[in-house]
């Protein structure tokens, strides 16, 4: 039995009235607080859309990547590192290595093009190649001259 004594300041009585509260049986368990589910978000990129299409969080995707790599006997980065990397890959701040491209394609069961892993190669012109070769030849010539001077050998 619990006794509650309210405070009454507006009366001059020295003794406050007492209220009695009784319980029968056991008190019910407090309801569990359920965390409010966060909506899934991803950037509007091929990899981000693929993850959202599966309904996976970034954490779920990383765990699935690690499980697949483990099943294949491949080594991967730590879970925390992969979370950071997945964020970068989804935001196209960096590109996954060949290992992770294969894992991601297998995980989402799509070809690399669907995840944005193949970039259209710029056609290389003959003029651009000739310019590059001339630039490299000039650099080799400068490095050879500098090495000869530092060794005291006449070119």
Q: What is the 3-state secondary structure (H, E, C) of the chain?
A: CEEECCCCCCCCCCCCCCEEECCCCCCCCCCCCCCCCCCCCCCCCHHHHHHHHHCCCHHHHHHHHHHHHHHHCCCCCCHHHHHHHHHHHHCCCCCCCHHHHHHHHHHHCCCHHHHCCCCCCCCCCHHHHHHHHHHHHHHHHHHHHHHHHHHCCCC
Q: How many CB atoms lie within 10 A of CB 2?
A: 8
Residue 9: what pLDDT?
56
pLDDT at 14 (0 to 100): 61
8 A C-beta contact, residue 103 and residue 65: yes
Query: Which domain, by its residues, includes 77?
Result: 46-115
Burial class of residue 40 (count of CB atoms within 10 Å of its CB; 0-12, 13-18, 19+): middle
Q: Is residue 25 part of a domain?
A: no
Residue 71 token pair: 């099943």
Tell me the C-alpha distance between 23 and 131, whole Å.
92
- In this predicted model, what pLDDT tens digit does every residue of 50-59 receive, in sequence order? 999 999 999 9
Q: What is the pLDDT of residue 43?
A: 86
Tens of pLDDT, residue by residue over 109-142, are 999 999 988 765 567 788 888 888 898 899 889 8
Specify if 6 maps to a domain. Answer: no
Report the domain count for the chain: 1
CATH number of the domain residue 54 falls in: 1.10.260
In a domain, 73, yes or no: yes
Q: What is the structure's pLDDT at 59?
A: 92
pLDDT beyond 70 at 34: yes
Q: Say if 13 falls within a structural domain.
A: no
Whether 67 is covered by a domain: the verdict is yes
Confidence bin at 25 (pLDDT 50/70/90): confident
Mean pLDDT of 22-49: 79
Q: Is there a domain that residue 83 lies in? A: yes
User: What is the pTM assigned to this prediction?
Assistant: 0.55
Whether 78 shows a pLDDT value over 90: the answer reads yes
Largest CA distance in the chain: 116
């Amino acid at each position: 039995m619990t006794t509650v004594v309210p405070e009454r300041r507006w009366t001059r009585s020295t003794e406050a009235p007492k209220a009695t509260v009784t319980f029968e049986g056991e008190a019910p368990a407090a309801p569990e607080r359920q965390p409010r589910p966060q909506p899934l978000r991803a950037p509007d990129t091929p990899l981000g859309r693929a993850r959202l299409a599966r309904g996976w969080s970034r954490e779920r995707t990383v765990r699935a990547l690690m499980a697949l790599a483990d099943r294949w006997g491949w080594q991967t980065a730590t879970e925390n590192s992969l979370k950071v990397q997945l964020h970068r890959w989804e935001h196209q701040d960096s590109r996954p290595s060949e290992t992770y491209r294969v894992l991601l394609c297998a995980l989402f069961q799509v070809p690399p093009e669907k995840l944005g892993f193949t970039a259209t190669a710029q056609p290389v012109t003959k003029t651009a190649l000739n310019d590059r070769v001339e630039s490299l030849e000039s650099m080799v010539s400068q490095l050879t001259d500098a090495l000869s001077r530092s060794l005291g050998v006449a070119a």
